[in-house]
Amino acid sequence: MADSLIRGIISRGVGGLYAVRPVFDDRYDGETELLARARGSFRIQNISPLVGDVVTLSPAGEMNEALEVPEDTGAPDSTGRKRRGKKGDIRVDWVISEISGRKNSMIRPPLANLDYLFAVIPTASPEPDLLTVDKLTVIAEDCGIETVIVVNKADLDMDGARKIADVYSLAGYRVFLVSAGSGYGMDELAGFLREITEKQQEKGYVSGAFVGASGAGKSTLMTYLFPELELATGSVSRKTERGRHTTRHVELYRTETGNGSFWLADTPGFSLLDFTRFNFIPTDELPGSFREFADLIGQCRYRKCTHTKEEGCAILEKLSQGGIAGSRHASYVKILEEQRSVPEWKRKQM
Ligand code: GDP
Ligand code: ZN
């Protein structure tokens, strides 16, 4: 019986159904995509499967009924071929019977178990917005997602690029200084992707997303790193899709990085804004979510130190000694102010 169960990850949602990639199962190759529906009891329990969820599939068997699905979803059948479904005629062979415990989950984009966030910061054009990047690092820290900083467009201003890189190296992040346009530094970034993919073989998969302001160079970077994906999705359609869909649509794409697959989370609307607006960090957790503050918490003179202007503040002391970048502390103060301006009742809804 156990043989008929399959474990995999949800790679996308398709009109109320889910495409599942059986990555933990030797019986299937990497291209297989199984179409499944959620077990009825999930709805009663108010659980929705998310892209990125590790799930167990059971055969739908006799229970299989014709499902109402919208026309033209382009949903794949169980062999992975796209089919243009007529209303009500998609046969679903699998049921998601179990969702494994999540490492993390985000509301918008709706995504589970993300391992890495690659924060793409343009050196110039557009001007880098470090406050937004810092909000992102805070959210990622809180969710247990590892942030990797990618300073792009280094060709436009190498000195400027190094200054930004230094800010985040000092904070304890892995930083890559690149030019996706010219290829500068891209071997190191590609090497890092191979490294993390190989390291996570045991877990079964590793996923990441590239986020950053519009024009930062995300598409250029992804095209450079995952050329095979570009063939599959097409840069033109990617761009036009951005306008059409909202951030509710997210998909995990399988990419080959040497010894294993790296799952790239992508959505037409992946922007920094979605993360920063929809994932609220409680005020008391804020200082600890700044990585370079974390080991100093509890060492200030006053127990209720806000680390903004107090005497005997360990964080301000480290700042004055150059151990914390000015822009990072300024972001901390700004985020704290923003949080305080949000009424308590509203925070709960965020
Ligand atoms: P996205 O909105 O973040 O996906 O950004 P794109 O990848 O579409 O890039 C925005 C613009 O920046 C395009 O015109 C790219 O050609 C350009 N661009 C991307 N990377 C670089 C780079 O490393 N150097 C320079 N000079 N331009 C770049
Ligand atoms: Zn303090």
Give one DSSP letter per residue of 19-76, joined into a string. EEE-TT-TTS-TT--EEEEE-HHHHHTT----BT-EEEEEE-GGG---B---TT---B
Residue pLDDT, tens place only, 255-266: 887 777 899 998
In contact, 70 and 27? CB cutoff 8 Å: no
Q: Which tops the pLDDT comparison, 174 or 14?
A: 174
Residue pLDDT, tens place only, 117-154: 999 999 999 999 999 999 989 989 988 999 999 999 99
Size of the chain in residues:
350
pTM: 0.86
Nearest to 172 by CA among 291, 324, 287: 291
Does ligand 1 come within 6 angstroms of the Cβ of 107? no
Per-residue model confidence (pLDDT) at position 230: 60
Report the nearest-CA residue for atom 25 of ligand 1: 153
Per-residue model confidence (pLDDT) at position 282: 76
Report the nearest-CA residue for atom 5 of ligand 1: 217
Rounded-to-integer distance, Cα 266 and Cα 84, Å: 23
Residue pLDDT, tens place only, 257-312: 777 789 999 876 455 555 555 556 778 889 999 999 999 999 999 999 999 999 99
Q: Which residues surround ligand 2, an ion (CB under 5 A)?
A: 300, 305, 307, 313, 315
Per-residue model confidence (pLDDT) at position 79: 46
226 has pLDDT over 50: yes
Report the nearest-CA residue for atom 14 of ligand 1: 215
Rounded-to-integer distance, Cα 35 and Cα 112, Å: 19
Rounded-to-integer distance, Cα 287 and Cα 294, Å: 7
In contact, 96 and 20? CB cutoff 8 Å: yes
